[in-house]
Structure 1
Amino acid sequence: MSAATPERPAVQAGRTPTVVRLLVLATFVVILNETIMINAIPRLMDSLRITEQSAQWVSTAFMLTMAAVIPITGWFLQRVTTRRAYAIAMGVFLAGTALSAVAPTFEVLLLGRVVQAAGTAVMMPLLMTTLMIVVPEHDRGRVMGNVTLAISVAPALGPAVSGLILQVGSWRLLFVAVLPIAALVTLFGLRKVENISEQQVSSIDWPSVGLAALGFGGLVYGLSLFGESDGGVGTPIGIVVAGSAAIAVFVIRQLKLQRTGAPLMDLRTLGHRTYTLSLVLMSIGFLAMLGSMILLPLYLQNLRGLTPLETGMLMMPGGLVMGLLGPTIGKIFDRFGSRPLVLPGSIGMVLALGGFTQVSMTMPFWQVLGLHALLMVSLAATFTPVFTLGMGGLPPHLYSHGSSMLGTLQQVAAAFGTALVVTVMSTRTSHLVADGVAAVPAQVSGMKLAFGIAAALAVVTIVVAAKLPNRIASADTQDHGNVGADAPNEGPAMQQPSTAVAVGEKKTDSR
């Protein structure tokens, strides 16, 4: 087992490991596809002769698949080597992209999007797990900043890129353009990506897989229906309740498997205070970001008359600033810790969302751009240190489960944020119209209330930020002490790979 250690190349201070660079590039390509279809809905309706609600499924199905597959990635990443995980994830993504590009019917396109999402669901946990293993603790903030550049710029570029492509061709070009880029990234990565840990032989609990798919998939699906239910909430509520019940059974089963075998998602990650606080803050931040990404295009296009391309260009600077500041924020975190970043970032998030409560038919576009940029910068100042703190507060053998749980909750938060803002806006608008208010002022009022609710939720991030430690070391003593107490009961299936053990020992010795 000790022979596995030389597989991991030494990491020079101030340099991002090659394997992380390649995974960041691949993750950027696959995440771009999560938002690239936003502007293509009208084209799909005309080309495939489908309704708007049906066309929306190209995004809903992607999100549903992510929610159903990500819970499995914790087990999957422990079961296969880094190279094999990369090859499978990118191979599946390429297959889904090719299928979508040539889809003769809407049903085939939907299948292609599901396959795409299955590959995408593996890449983010793979990137984060690999980063935590190969990057020394003192350099993680800087490297995590580079990761932020990829995962924040990609969603911001999606609508703008799709708007440009749709100006010159059909929706199929969205997939045709991505296919050769993804293929080159895959081939280059397979030549350079190295295995950084040994695989663990363990069986998968299929009832847990089914419960996770039904629970998290059902919850995300039910929440997504709130924006499409035409005022009826009975069906969405029923699906949300059923999904929540399946999640409850899933949790009970994982707790039992932690005592007798290998759980699909190890909930002992929640026993680490720093990780749990980070999870709460990241989920609310993601909710706020996705809520604004839904509301702003509705405001700019439906009320202010901008085209999808103009809307994408107006929102792109905020995403670019968020990504470009990532490395700088990471360096600040490495030098000064989380406090100079997370607390101001949380406050900035509340101020930006609060500013959006003043939207009107005459608000200058530069003010919209400025508020959006403030929100994105605040999220950048929050996400990089919080994720580094949270994952760093876990022992190495829980990295894959921690990143899997975070990815799952991000999808749930995205669905909840979308459902919340759309439901609040629609309900408020309907009530005002029923009272005789004109449609446009009613919609503006509904958007103001929706932004107000999002701002109120964001206040929670200020409270959580105040409770986070300044550095990982502040939480490690308590967190790792708890893990040590539990370790004898974990069973052989939960033992960490020798490579991860070596990393953990080296990290402890360095302190």
Structure 2
Amino acid sequence: MKAFSVSTSTVQWLTTGFMMVNGIMIPISAWLSTRFNSKMLYISAMTTFFIGTVVCYIAPNFGMLLTGRLIQALGVGVTMPLLQTIMLSIFPPAKRGTAMGLAGIVIGLAPAIGPTLSGWVIDNWTWRDLFGMIIPLMLLVILASFFFVKSVLPTKKVGTDLLSIVMSTVGFGSLLYGFSSVGEDGWGSATVISTLVIGVIFIALFIWRQLTMKKPFLEFRVYRSFPFTISAILSSVTMMAMVGVEMVIPLYLQIVKGMSAFESGLTLLAGAIMMGIMSPITGRAVDRFGAKRLSIIGMFLLTLGSIPFIFITKSTPTIYIVFFYAIRMFGISMSMMPATTVGMNSLPINLLSHGTAVNNTQRQVASSVGTAVLISILTNVTKNNMPSKHMLSTNPLNYQTHAINATLSGYHAAFMISLIFCLLAFITAFFLKNRGHSSDYTKAGGED
């Protein structure tokens, strides 16, 4: 914002635009992984991410910086689903929990460390170094890929359905844009309503087209598997509970407690480390004990760790936030990957890429919905409880007290909604199967 003299709503596009393009690419990734050699697809995606990173690093203006972020998102939208598909393909069902647990370190730990690391980099160097420090690492990864990455996914010539790509792009792009705009414009905004309506219409048309095609672009029949459907719902609701709170807690720490961006990020670090440590452990546990009990315990801990946030005040000790946030992340690590593993195990191997794409797309949309709901509730409740401006001139000290109480009311309401998400996930966990098998899809009327 300072470097390019742009507003908060403008700079937010560096995140919003990235999420939109990433969300658009995830459904397309299933077709790409079916059509192209997985080794070359991975190298191409990482090269795309590298190009985007270089563009960001040298960007002379905000427009170029945003362009670089969108290019980065093209690569990430392919590599993340591809990672899961490859892990599920090369490991037998009995060992997929361990494999997905290892993948969980990357998926859970790396994004969580971001706020702390980036805050430290910005405090000591410049924003460009956030991109510059990645460039040599990316070159090393791309070079190593030529020697160590192998093509393991079967490919076949699948026709490109341009209409499906257009429907998917417009549908998911509009939906994600609409939810991302709620925090800035509110639910009553014509922009939010119109983009959400357009998104829903095009997604409905996209799904209808896939279900009527002989060789669909994205196979929605994966929902015929009950274990997959339950695991996808559980993962999505958990993401709503996780991502929304990850957005709200730093706002509370910075606005109410006056912390810096680095300090607020550091407060969340213990939870991130907890998730990173527990992911491989719970991965092995799901192979041994099954996912149902782990997920029920995990969702119970997530719910238990969410309750204290409803009662936070201005004087709440920071260690209190650190402790209960770590409990939440511990619970998530016990359920997210185990549930995903069971869901994927219930699909035949030729549908793994489609299952991964569908699951990740659903989670991406759920993350946007959860963030939009929590931020809008936080904003509206705070606004409705704010004292009148007249009090600012007549009794400024009383105005300040009322303003802080209004702000805290907003956070209490947001955390209450998050608790409802947690309770829904806890109830859903009871319907999860202990282990999934590809026969679950066949029994449900699917085809191998």
TM-score w.r.t. the length of structure 2 is 0.95
Task: Measure, in 1, the Cα distance between the counterparts of 2:188 and 2:200.
Answer: 20
Task: Measure, in 2, the Cα distance between the counterparts of 1:378 and 1:251.
Answer: 33
Please identify, of 221-230 and 274-283, the stretch whose mean Cα deviation from structure 2 is larger. Answer: 221-230
After TM superposition, give the deviation of residue 237 of structure 1 in Å: 1.7
Task: Measure, in 2, the Cα distance between the counterparts of 1:338 and 1:130.
Answer: 21
Matched, 1:167 2:129: no
Question: Match of 1:63, as an amino acid?
Answer: M
Which segments of structure 1 move beyond 6 Å, counting only runs of 4 or more? Answer: none
Question: Match of 2:211, as an amino acid?
Answer: L
> Any conservation in 1 of the 2:97–2:341 contact (CA below 8 Å)?
yes
Q: Specify which of 178, 197, 201 is matched with residue 157 of structure 2.
A: 201
| Residue 339 of structure 1: aligned partner | 292
Task: Measure, in 2, the Cα distance between the counterparts of 1:196 and 1:120.
Answer: 20
Q: Percent identity?
A: 32
Aligned ranges 1:80-91 → 2 under 5 Å: 80-91=36-47
Q: Specify which of 286, 291, 294 is matched with residue 247 of structure 2.
A: 294
Q: Specify which of 340, 345, 348 is matched with residue 301 of structure 2.
A: 348
After TM superposition, give the deviation of residue 232 of structure 1 in Å: 5.0
Matched, 1:452 2:413: no
| Residue 7 of structure 1: aligned partner | none
> Any conservation in 1 of the 2:299–2:429 contact (CA below 8 Å)?
yes
| Residue 279 of structure 1: aligned partner | 232
| Residue 48 of structure 2: aligned partner | 92
Task: Measure, in 2, the Cα distance between the counterparts of 1:98 and 1:290.
Answer: 28
Question: Match of 1:320, as an amino acid?
Answer: I
| Residue 379 of structure 1: aligned partner | 332
After TM superposition, give the deviation of residue 340 of structure 1 in Å: 2.8
| Residue 486 of structure 1: aligned partner | 447
Task: Measure, in 2, the Cα distance between the counterparts of 1:350 and 1:233.
Answer: 33
| Residue 131 of structure 1: aligned partner | 87
> Any conservation in 1 of the 2:297–2:331 contact (CA below 8 Å)?
yes
Stretches of structure 2 that go unaligned for 5 or more consecutive residues are 392-398
Task: Measure, in 1, the Cα distance between the counterparts of 2:239 and 2:315.
Answer: 28
Root mean square deviation, CA, Å:
1.4
Task: Measure, in 2, the Cα distance between the counterparts of 1:216 and 1:117.
Answer: 14
| Residue 322 of structure 1: aligned partner | 275
Question: Match of 1:477, as an amino acid?
Answer: S
| Residue 406 of structure 2: aligned partner | 442
Task: Measure, in 2, the Cα distance between the counterparts of 1:120 and 1:460.
Answer: 30
Aligned ranges 1:21-60 → 2 under 5 Å: 45-60=1-16
| Residue 249 of structure 1: aligned partner | 205
Please list the CA deviations of residues 146-192 of structure 1 after superposition, one character each: whole Å capped at 9, or x if unmatched.
11111111111111111111122221111000111111112112211
After TM superposition, give the deviation of residue 145 of structure 1 in Å: 1.1
Question: Match of 2:10, as an amino acid?
Answer: S
The size of the alignment, in residue pairs, is 437
Please list the CA deviations of residues 182-236 of structure 1 after superposition, one character each: whole Å capped at 9, or x if unmatched.
1111211221111113321011111111111111111110011111116853321
Question: Match of 2:151, as an amino acid?
Answer: N
| Residue 477 of structure 1: aligned partner | 439
Task: Measure, in 2, the Cα distance between the counterparts of 1:233 and 1:320.
Answer: 39
| Residue 502 of structure 1: aligned partner | none
| Residue 137 of structure 2: aligned partner | 181
Question: Residues 193 and 48 from structure 1, CA distance in 2 versus in 1: closer, same or farther, beyond 3 angstroms?
Answer: same
Q: Specify which of 375, 396, 399 is matched with residue 422 of structure 1.
A: 375
| Residue 395 of structure 2: aligned partner | none
Task: Measure, in 2, the Cα distance between the counterparts of 1:460 and 1:167.
Answer: 40
Q: Specify which of 259, 262, 268 is matched with residue 306 of structure 1.
A: 259
Question: Match of 1:342, as an amino acid?
Answer: S
TM-score w.r.t. the length of structure 1 is 0.83
Please list the CA deviations of residues 88-107 of structure 1 after superposition, one character each: whole Å capped at 9, or x if unmatched.
11010000000110011111
Task: Measure, in 2, the Cα distance between the counterparts of 1:462 and 1:197.
Answer: 35
| Residue 141 of structure 1: aligned partner | 97
